[in-house]
Amino acid sequence: MVAVLTMVAVLTMPLAIAPVAADDTLIDEVHAFLYEQASGLGDEVVIEVRPPSARLPDCEHPEPFLPRAGQPLVGRISVGVRCGSDGRQVRYLQAEIGIIGGYPVAARDIAAGSVIDAGMLETRHGDLARLPRQAVVDSQRIIGQVAQRPLAAGSTLEEHQLAARALVERGQTVTVEARGSSFQVTREGEALEPGGQGERVRVRFANRQLVTATVVGEARLAVDF
């Protein structure tokens, strides 16, 4: 993997050795933190950390963190930094992350309702930050999905354009497997709603008992105890 690190720092006040060094240390800490978080997301990572817009007291013992857990590490983001030995002082810096990597596109026109297979996709490389917000960059998440609308050749595929293929239909007779640490029991029931792989579906048994089970295959569901 090739990693390219870019850091831009513009100083607009008279030179002062100690404050500049403190700013550089803070930016280096944030830079290293973001690179560690994003290094596995693509073939190349480009990171720009912007220095604080105002002169602030030195940040001792900086500990960077992401303000929003699970936020995408691509494009413009905000990074929090706890300062001081007790971490009670918090400041925020802006950063720009570019991830250069491969992503799937439609290899040909795909009709609405088609179940997507590997032959319908091809890989392109570019800055993932420039893709639509809902673009899917892992082809394995696309294969087996159903196109909800026509997809043009060369287009990126987005979450809202895809749906899980129904493995269970409403009113269908299904097999429900109940599993525990030392037992496994199967029963037949009626699916009360459709569902795709991994989705939760309500099932009614002959005795009118209702359970919610996870779709694990064609007309097959599972309940764990």
pLDDT one-digit tens code per residue, 155-187: 999 999 999 889 999 999 999 999 888 888 999
Answer yes or no: is 108 within a domain: yes
Predicted pLDDT of residue 22: 60
**Domain identity same for 89 and 128:** no
Model confidence, pTM: 0.59
- Say which DSSP state 110 is in: B
**Domain identity same for 75 and 45:** yes
**Domain identity same for 95 and 21:** yes
Question: Based on the structure, what is the number of domains in the chain?
Answer: 3
What is the extent of the structural domain holding 220? 166-224
Residue 1: pLDDT band (50, 70, 90) is very low
Among 60, 82, 99, where does a domain finish? 99
**Domain identity same for 81 and 143:** no
Residue for token pair 């088609």: 114
**Domain identity same for 181 and 153:** no
Residue 10: pLDDT band (50, 70, 90) is very low
**Domain identity same for 112 and 92:** no
Query: C-alpha 37: how far from its chain's center?
Result: 13
Answer yes or no: is 188 within a domain: yes
Whether 18 has a pLDDT exceeding 50, the answer reads: no
Whether 79 has a pLDDT exceeding 50, the answer reads: yes
Among 99, 127, 156, where does a domain finish? 99
What type of residue is 183?
Answer: F
- Say which DSSP state 13 is in: S
Residue 69: pLDDT band (50, 70, 90) is confident
The CATH number that applies at residue 174 is 2.30.30.760
Spell out the residues 6+ positions from residue 151 whose beta carbon is closer than 8 angstroms to its own. Answer: 106, 109, 110, 157, 161
